[in-house]
Amino acid sequence: MVLPLLAYLAGLLTILSPCIMPVLPFLFSRVGHSFRRSALPLLAGMALTFAATASLAAVGGGWVVQAHQWGRMAALAALALFGLALLWPALADVLSQPLVKLGAGLSRRSDQAQQRGEAVGASALLGVAVGLLWAPCAGPILGLILTGAVLQAGSAGTALLLLTYGLGAATSLAVALLAGDRLAAALKRTRGASLWMRRGLGAAALAAVGVSALGLEQASFAGWTLADTNRLEQALLTRIPAADPGVASAPAISRLPVLGTLPPFPKRATWLNSPPLSRDQLWGKVVLVDIWTYSCINCLRTLPHVRAWASKYRNHGLVVIGVHTPEFAFERDLGNVRAAVRRLGLTYPVVIDNDFAIWKSFRNTYWPSFYFIDGQGRIRHTHFGEGAYDTSERTIQELLREAGQKDVPTGLVRP
């Protein structure tokens, strides 16, 4: 029962993360409506759709990639129509006619019953579309669930954990919506406020659709946050170690202890920006292994520092290797990864780890994870998640000096 509780708590924390930003315009469009008939169906549809698509995306093959991409396109089109309907009430009347007819066909009770059916059906469909659009930040707990799904080929337990996570997110959004209801009631007492609020939400919804359609969610929201949710989740994991005894915590940096050795890279792995590298070729070099994936906002936030370190210390014996281990099935598409590497300006070697071979050889459990290897192939320091950039760079400098490098640059990068 511990891991389901952690999954629910991690879902609650998503309200503080930047990944929730695309969802908010659609959520707050339900402000002023019946919570039970409007907001609740939306949140339920979102949680259920997220759990279903995340379960498939974590373990599915190529057909799931294609199905998810088509479903995402359909969801974006539906959400764009919804945003336009908020801007122009006349269009909303036209779009609502099929739902009105459907409600009349299903229920002959009264006009009020038809309106109830219309609100519930429309909100549930909106929730399904939002669930296809939403990709939450993979903190330690969600990463743990998704890793288990991939390594164990999926299970009913994984789907239930993802649903629990989605319900946690829905709970925090419901609280925000109930608080917004009071604000909406106050605004409605001001002449014209309701119309302008509706139009503002419509514009925000269209903006969210545009950002998502262009694949800019991570870049757009990477700098926005209300709290360090990764640290909060890590605190939960360390306080309840029974959730997963294999989850490691970062060791102290003092004296740089030996934590293990660099495992070999798979011989048939695909490499970008470099021919395949082996441990023998890296002997005498200081190596930073960054395990990441391109749709992870937490990973994207670390990349400016990784790029800066690779550039600053390239001529002083540092080799940065990005290990791209996918969270979801669409991240296994090599074309998607190539495009992301170009878009993000990564020029250092990136090895594709679609089968989690490197991930498992490091016994890793996080996105992103840093492993600092000295000139003798020994792991001397690790860091999981964001932050501690100054400590990481000083570790690089110390290992370079240990390896006999002269004139190692001092100071710290400020990307």
Cβ–Cβ under 8 Å, residues 11 and 50: no
Cα 115 from Cα 111, distance rounded (Å):
6
pLDDT per position in the chain (415 positions), as tens? 566 777 777 777 776 666 666 677 767 666 666 777 777 888 888 888 777 777 666 555 454 555 556 556 665 666 666 566 656 566 555 555 554 454 444 333 433 443 444 467 667 777 777 776 666 665 566 666 666 666 555 556 677 777 887 788 888 778 777 776 665 555 555 555 555 555 666 666 666 666 665 555 555 555 555 455 666 666 666 555 444 433 344 444 447 888 999 999 999 999 999 999 999 999 999 999 999 999 888 888 899 999 999 999 999 999 999 999 988 777 888 998 999 999 999 999 999 999 889 999 998 888 889 999 999 999 999 998 888 899 999 999 999 999 999 889 989 999 8
Q: Classify strands 378-384 and 318-324 as parallel, antiparallel or unpaired.
A: unpaired
Cα 128 from Cα 135, distance rounded (Å):
13
> 166 to each of 193, 196, 371, how far by Cα in Å?
32, 31, 31
Note the pLDDT tens digit of each residue in 5-25. Answer: 777 777 777 766 666 666 777
Q: Classify strands 378-384 and 260-261 as parallel, antiparallel or unpaired.
A: antiparallel
In sequence order, what are the residues at sequence separation of 6 or more whose Cβ sits closer than 8 angstroms to the Cβ of residue 321?
Answer: 277, 287, 288, 289, 290, 348, 349, 350, 351
Axis crossing angle, helix 62-87 with helix 89-106, rounded to the nearest 10 = 120
Cα 415 from Cα 400, distance rounded (Å):
21
Cα 9 from Cα 164, distance rounded (Å):
9
Length of the chain: 415
For residue 111, the tally of other CB atoms under 10 A from its CB is 9
Axis crossing angle, helix 40-59 with helix 62-87, rounded to the nearest 10 = 160
Q: Which residue has the tokens 């669409």?
A: 330
Cα 319 from Cα 274, distance rounded (Å):
11
Cα 50 from Cα 175, distance rounded (Å):
19
CA 15 to chain CA centroid, nearest Å: 13
